[in-house]
Amino acid sequence: MNNSLYKPIRKPILILSVLAGGIIFTGCASAPQMSGGAPPGNAPLQEEAPANEVSTDSSATAQAAQVPSSRPQLIKKASMTIVVDSVGKSLETVSQLIDKQQGDLIGLEEQQPRVGYTRHRATIQMRVPQNSLELTLDELAKLGTVENRTITAEDVGNQIVDIQARLNNLRKTETNLQKIMDKAGSVRDVLSVAKELNNVRESIERIDAQLKNLQNQVAYSTITLNLEAAVSANATQPAFGSQVQEAWNNSTHSLGEFTVGLLKLGIWLLVYSPYLLVLVAAGYGLICWKRNSQRLVQTPDSSQPDRR
């Protein structure tokens, strides 16, 4: 009887087990299909990503190629010593060369031969655009024989960048202070902000002048040129008439100075004459008083009779 009751119950359980196993098997079979089917739909995206990376790298490379490399900020100075046939003609040529290169003449010192056998010398300081420095030195070398030639350069790029950064910060500070000053309510606050704003503007002017000075030194190079005559020149002897004229001029000049000195002495004596008269009168009175004293002492002795 018990066996007959369990048989109807076992059949539904078996059917449910079979259905559950089928569902599980179907889910396991469909999962690989879903995981395997997803990539084909996303495959074009994965293939497009490397292409985008390549295009980005190429554009970055193109931009880097378009950015110009900054030139070094150099202050260049040059010095040359040249032996020439004629210093005078060379000075004219150098002046024309400076005008041609759009430069400036800073200084000129010329030493003419005066004593003994000396050379005619001249020293010139000039400024030319930095991009014309080499060309100018080559043109100067054609004046004669180059004894020495030196070029020095100082990199001031970091200084210029630092000054520009300080200048930008100060200008931002100036703008902020101006805004604060516009919003300030009390007179005390306005005066305090105005004082600080004035200090900032003074700093801006000073730093801006330093920046312009450095930029000007970078833009223009300085050349010191020493010219020497090839043959020493004999000092010319002045003519006889010139020597006589020079002696006459010196003597008349000395006589004039002596006369002026006497006049000055007379003026001083005239101004101090009252004091001199007082001193003379006091001295004369003292002398007279001494003489009278001596007479009074001698008079009683001489008036006594001789009693012998």
Q: For residue 258, with 0-12 CB atoms within 10 Å meaning exposed, 13-18 middle and 19 or more buried, which class applies?
A: exposed
Query: Which tokens is 259 given?
Result: 């006369």
Q: Indicate whether 21 belongs to any domain.
A: no
My answer on whether 113 and 177 are in the same domain is no
Region for residue 102 given its phi and psi (left: phi exceeds 0; alpha: psi -120 to 50; beta: otherwise): left
Report strand pairing: 104-111 vs 233-234. Answer: unpaired
Rounded-to-integer distance, Cα 117 and Cα 308, Å: 101
Rounded-to-integer distance, Cα 151 and Cα 134, Å: 10
Residue 205 is part of a domain; what is its CATH number? 1.20.58
Rounded-to-integer distance, Cα 278 and Cα 276, Å: 5
Q: What pLDDT is stored for residue 10 in this prediction?
A: 45
In tens digits, what is the pLDDT along the chain, a chain of 308 residues?
444 434 444 444 444 444 444 444 434 443 433 344 444 444 333 444 444 444 444 444 444 444 445 678 999 999 999 999 989 999 999 999 999 999 999 999 998 877 556 788 999 999 999 999 999 999 999 999 999 999 999 999 999 999 999 999 999 999 999 998 888 778 888 888 899 999 999 999 999 999 999 999 999 999 999 999 887 555 455 677 777 888 888 898 899 999 999 999 989 988 888 888 888 888 888 888 888 888 777 665 555 555 44
Cα atoms in the 13 Å half-sphere on the side-chain side of 63: 6
Q: Indicate whether 56 belongs to any domain.
A: no
Q: What pLDDT is stored for residue 148 in this prediction?
A: 93
Rounded-to-integer distance, Cα 150 and Cα 221, Å: 13
Q: Indicate whether 185 belongs to any domain.
A: yes
Q: Indicate whether 130 belongs to any domain.
A: yes
Q: What pLDDT is stored for residue 308 in this prediction?
A: 46
Rounded-to-integer distance, Cα 129 and Cα 106, Å: 14
Final residue before a domain boundary, out of 109, 128, 155: 155
pTM of the entire structure?
A: 0.51
Q: What pLDDT is stored for residue 182 in this prediction?
A: 86
Q: Give every CB contact of residue 104 below 8 A, 6+ residues apart in sequence.
A: 98, 126, 127, 220
Residue 111 is part of a domain; what is its CATH number? 3.30.70
Q: Indicate whether 120 belongs to any domain.
A: yes
My answer on whether 181 and 164 are in the same domain is yes
Q: Give every CB contact of residue 167 below 8 A, 6+ residues apart in sequence.
A: 204, 207, 208, 211
Q: What pLDDT is stored for residue 300 in this prediction?
A: 57
| Domain ranges, residue 192 | 158-220
Q: What pLDDT is stored for residue 231 in this prediction?
A: 72
Cα atoms in the 13 Å half-sphere on the side-chain side of 288: 6
- The total of structural domains in the chain comes to 2
Q: Indicate whether 108 belongs to any domain.
A: yes
The closest of 225, 201, 48, 205 to 150, measured between CA atoms, is 225
The closest of 216, 78, 215 to 153, measured between CA atoms, is 78
My answer on whether 135 and 151 are in the same domain is yes
